[in-house]
Structure 1
C-alpha cells in the first residue's frame, strides 16, 4: 500500500487535485457554473478552508492511486491511467452529478452536465499522471 510509486503518485496527483481543481472550477468554469446555479445558490464558501481542501485532495489522491495500483496489470501505461481516470470521472462526475441534480437544487441541468464533464476531465488528467508515474517509477 505504501510503495514508493504509490507515494509519489499520491503527492503528484494531490498537487493536481488542488491546483487543477482550482484551475478548472475556480478559474475556467467559475462564471459559467455560477450562471447555472439552481435555487440553492449561495451554498458555496467565498473562500475555501485551504487546510481541509488540501487534506481532502491528499486522501482522494491516495485512494485513487491505490485503487489504480490494484486495478491493472503489473505494467502500467499512461493510456491505462487515462482510461481509469475517465471511468472514475464518469462515476463521480456524471453519475453523482445527475443524482445531485435529481435530489438538490445546486445546478440547473446544463450546469450539472457541464460540471460532470469537468469532473471527467479532472479525473482523466489525474489518471494520466498516475499512469505516467506507475510506468516510469518502478
Structure 2
C-alpha cells in the first residue's frame, strides 16, 4: 500500500487532480458552470487546503486501486481506460445521483461535468499508470 510506485503515483495523481481541476473549473469553464448554477452555494474564495487534502486522498486511493487493478500492464491506453472508468462512476454515477437529490446545477451542467470527469480522471489514470510503468521498469533493470 505504501510502495514507492504508489507514493510517487499519488504525488503525480495529486498534481494532476489539483491543477486540472483548477484550470478547468477555475478558468476554462467557470462562466459556463456559473450560468448553469441554480443555487449559488459557492464559497467566495475556495478553501485550497481542503481541496488539496481531498485531492491527495483521491490520488492515493486511485493509485492504490490502480495497483490492484493493473496487474503489471501499464501504459497510456491502460491508464486512460482505468481513469475513464472512474470518471464514468464519478461523473455520471455520482453526478446524476447528486442532480436528483440536490438543486445545485441544471442537467446541462451535470452532463458537461460528467463528460469532463471522464477526460479528467482519464488523464489522471494515464499519469498514475506511467509512474507505475516507470517504477516497474526501473525495478526490473
Moved more, 116-125 or 82-91: 116-125
CA RMSD across the alignment: 1.0
Partners in 1 of 2:70 and 2:131 — Cα distance?
A: 14
Structure 1 length-normalised TM = 0.94
Matching residue of 2:82: 84
Partners in 1 of 2:75 and 2:130 — Cα distance?
A: 6
Higher helix share: 2
CA drift of 1:59 comes to 0.6
Partners in 2 of 1:46 and 1:17 — Cα distance?
A: 21
- Number of paired residues? 136
Q: Which secondary structure state, in structure 2, belongs to the residue aligned with residue 137 of structure 1?
A: helix
Select which of 54, 57, 64 maps to 1:56.
54
| Aligned positions of 1:38-117 closer than 5 A | 38=38, 41-117=39-115
Matching residue of 2:36: 36
Structure 1 residue runs without a partner (length 5+): none
Partners in 2 of 1:87 and 1:75 — Cα distance?
A: 16
8 Å Cα contact 1:36-1:107 kept in structure 2: yes
CA drift of 1:103 comes to 1.2
Structure 2 length-normalised TM = 0.92
Structure 2 residue runs without a partner (length 5+): 137-141
